[in-house]
Structure 1
Amino acid sequence: MVWLWGVNLWVFLQSTVSYTKVFDLDQNHLTHKETWKCSTWMTIIVPTSMTAYLYLYSHGEVSLAASQPVLLYILVAVILIFPFDIFYLSSRYFFLRTLFRIALPLQPITFPDFFVADILTSMAKVFSDLERSVCRMVNRQVATIAWLEADSVCGSHSVAIPMCLVLPYLWRLLQCLRQYRDTKEKNCLFNALKYSTSVPVIFLSALKYHVLHEKWETLYRPLWLLSSVINSLYSFYWDITRDWDLSGFSRIFKFNKSSVVSNMFYGRQWIYFWVIGSNFVLRCSWTYKLSAHLRHNYLTVFAITLLEMLRRFQWIFFRVENEWNKITRSGVQLTEIPREEEKLLGSNIHDV
């Protein structure tokens, strides 16, 4: 995901979209090259930890193997909160402040706040995996023969899994309510409703492990399917009409007016058809990830997670550009107001 974010920044740099103004970044922000440098270190450190785990476990060093994920988690936390001016201090603290504002939306919501929160909804599976990893570490079931027995504590039937899956959507829901309180715009409520539609998908799926099989087949499974369809279609509609401002797909067919279409993909009509079609398919498949009772095939889960990362990657282009278009349009309107007043004043003087 961080590698792809670097690609996003590189494409913005080649276009007329000023991402620094959209996110209100200072001069010390991470460029695409610095982002890729961070990605490189992450790509080195994480597989190294995994390799050390497998090597030590295969050679009978169970306790040392179990320490590898613990050390990795501690290393990440230490780097994030390291108080000295190394490892991109301002960017790390900007990220931590944003996470704090997301978790506790007690102040007016800025674009970086809900932008990062939207990305976190695509990483809901990461939250549930994080919980299971920490659970296994705490219960000392990382590298022992009791791994399978750990399902009784940290397994797929745990109530903590749907709680972690719903957390990013709950944060985004609270942000929308806070925005409505500040702006009184009804669109904020409709956006909040969109995130609330993920809650039935998550918890109805989890009910399979806590109700009788007949009850699940006759009542809860149809409700889960219905809520999945509603969530997928509503989310797809919101992406196209609100986040990307492609209402009625009208911008697709207006390539003779560069001010109407994308600054980044001007003249490339096929990109719009691709992004709309792929977004629809992947919005529907993402429901699979929110449903705990479908997550037994780890290869399928991994593939859908990877596809969701790619969907979010292309979503970022159009979402940031749409925000940039709003900024530029508001700037044009502000510059036009004095001219109109000048004309009005001139006509009044002439009448006098």
Structure 2
Amino acid sequence: FTISSAEGGKYIDNNKAVRTTPSIIWERIADVAAPIFPLVLFFVGVVKALLPWAKKRRDFWYIVSLTICAPYHDVTFRDGFIGDILTSTVRPLQDIAFTTFYIVSGLQGWWTKSYGIDDAAVPVEHSWLLHTVVLPACMISPLWWRFLQNLRQTYDAKQRWPYLGNALKYFVAAEVAVFGLFDPSKKQTFIWIASFVCATLYQIWWDVFMDWELLVWKDEPSSLPFGIRWPFALRSQRLYQRRSTYIFIFTINFLLRFCWTLTFIPMRYLTQSGILEDHFRSDFQTLAGPAMACAEIIRRSLWGLIRVELEAIKTMNKKKDIAGSEIELSNQDKESDNLVDEQWELKPMSIECASGREGGLSASLASIKGTLKSQGAIVQSDMSSLSDHQIMIELCLYATVFTAIGMIAAAHRQVM
């Protein structure tokens, strides 16, 4: 509707010199379709998101609110997963924000006949509130929510690792995007490009070894061509039968991860003189902008397949351990009654592969940790010796650094 009405209107405007009867009819249709179709599409989407206010929608928005209100709630796997999904919807959130401003600016003038629907873009283009507050807020908020979730997990578990390591992933992505937004000239510097590449590689490493636990440490490295020794192997516990599934998802995730940070940067920015300029070349962002937004949704969907798979495996392993403990206790009582033959009836079905269970990356992490500890370079992960106030002060310091760097970037561009 939006594309057809807008492009149709442009086509009619460009052919107004030919005043034939069909062209007049299409011109009348375009005059109605151009402003009406986008409005209908927008309002239908809003209504469908809220009505009917039944249990499913109430539960949905309640779950989303738990992510938005981080860190005031305990963080479950569901909340963290929703938070990760929201970090992939930055471009749609920015589009919704821009559409809202466009509609609010255009409806009044359209109803009062003070200016046309195309003229509504003028106040939107020069809106300091939109380009300096709203769009950057849409960019930074999902990363901020996920960052706070990790701080809350650090507080609850009283362990710095792996939660602060995960928080670092969102912190670095946010700062790279913020400086790319408020100081576009930095995107061509070596420092920004190097930071962008390092942040992306760190995200890929975290996906493979932490979020997926896809590779595990092998005692005997495999031999590869050119004398390369590969010390990792695909984890044995898997729910998808084909190894090619994991290779395919890893490849797509590796390639599209570089687009993830770019989706945070809006397509345009407002200069200090009030002129709207493109962040990238217009011919590039016309095609690449929507493509990157769609590609990120696809990447996150594939990423979620392995992320949920790993959580299902962990949950089943916990249930198996609990059931095994219950069987052991039950057997101790049944030995006196000679009912040992029935002890295996309560044992759940195993989801392990033939190679048995392994601890994910625990062996490799333990090896790395031991090496660092022997060199005196390990940072104490356990925070149980600290009081709640001391832990809170440390976590508040991390949150302050997160916000302060963003404010420095905004002040550097003199938008505050």
In the superposition, the TM-score normalised over structure 2's length comes to 0.60
**1:276 equivalenced with 2:250 (yes/no):** yes
Aligned to 2:304: 316
Q: How does 1:158-173 map to 2 (within 5 A)?
A: 158-173=132-147
Cα 1:344–1:193 shift into 2, 3 Å: farther
Structure 2 counterparts to residues 1-352 of structure 1, below 5 A? 47=1, 51=4, 58=12, 59=27, 62=31, 65-83=34-52, 89-105=54-70, 106-140=72-106, 143-145=117-119, 147=121, 150-153=124-127, 158-186=132-160, 187-208=162-183, 216=186, 221-248=189-216, 253=233, 260-264=236-240, 266=241, 268-292=242-266, 293-294=279-280, 296=282, 297-341=285-329
Change (3 A) 1:90 1:157: closer
Give how far 1:299 is off.
Answer: 0.4
Distance in 2 of aligned mates of 1:72 and 1:117: 26
**In terms of mean alpha carbon deviation, does 179-188 or 169-178 score higher?**
179-188
Q: CA deviation at 1:82?
A: 2.4
C-alpha separation in 2, matches of 1:249 and 1:273: 18
Structure 2 letter corresponding to 1:73: F
Identity across matched positions, percent: 25
| 2:353 paired residue number | none
Deviates further, 180-189 or 306-315: 180-189
Once the 2 structures are TM-superposed, how far is the Cα of residue 313 of structure 1 from its aligned partner?
Answer: 1.7
Higher Cα radius of gyration: 2
Q: Tell me if the contact between 2:67 and 2:79 (Cα under 8 Å) persists in the aligned partners.
A: yes
1:156-201 deviations in whole A, cap 9, x for unaligned? Answer: 9645323211111111111111222222243222111111111111
- Specify whether residues 54 and 294 from structure 1 end up closer, same or farther in structure 2 by C-alpha distance, changes over 3 A only: closer
Q: Label 1:333 to 1:204 Cα distance change in 2 as closer, same or farther (>3 A).
A: same
SS in 2 for 1:294: coil
Once the two structures are TM-superposed, the CA of residue 75 in structure 1 deviates from its matched residue by: 2.6
Q: Structure 1, residues 192-215: CA drift from partner, whole Å, max 9, x if none?
A: 111111111111111335xxx6xx
Q: Per-residue deviation at 1:347? A: 9.8
Separation of aligned partners in 2, 1:249 and 1:275: 20
- Give, as a single letter, the amino acid of the residue that structure 2 aligns with 1:98: I
What is the CA–CA distance in structure 1 between the aligned matches of 2:87 and 2:203, rounded to whole Å?
12
Offset, 1:155: 11
Q: What do residues 37-65 of structure 1 show as CA deviations (whole Å, max 9, x unaligned)?
A: xxxxxxxxxx4x65456557753665763
**Structure 2 residue identity aligned to 1:261:** Q
Amino acid at match of 1:222: F
Residue 62 of structure 1 contacts residue 144 of structure 1 at CA under 8 Å; is this kept in 2? no
Deviates more, 1:334-343 or 1:54-63: 54-63
Q: Which is helix-richer, 1 or 2?
A: 1
For structure 2, the 5+ residue unaligned runs are 13-26, 108-115, 219-230, 267-278, 337-416
SS at match of 2:117: coil
Cα distance change, pair 128–254 in 1 and its aligned pair in 2 (3 A): closer
Q: Secondary structure at the match of 2:183?
A: helix
Q: Supply the distance in 1 between the matched residues of 2:59 and 2:5 (Cα, whole angstroms).
A: 32
Alpha-carbon distance change, 83 to 147 in structure 1, aligned in 2, over 3 angstroms = closer
**Distance (whole Å) between structure 1 residues aligned to residue 192 and residue 36 of structure 2:** 39
Q: Distance in 2 between matches of 1:148 and 1:252?
A: 56
Alignment root-mean-square deviation, CA: 3.4
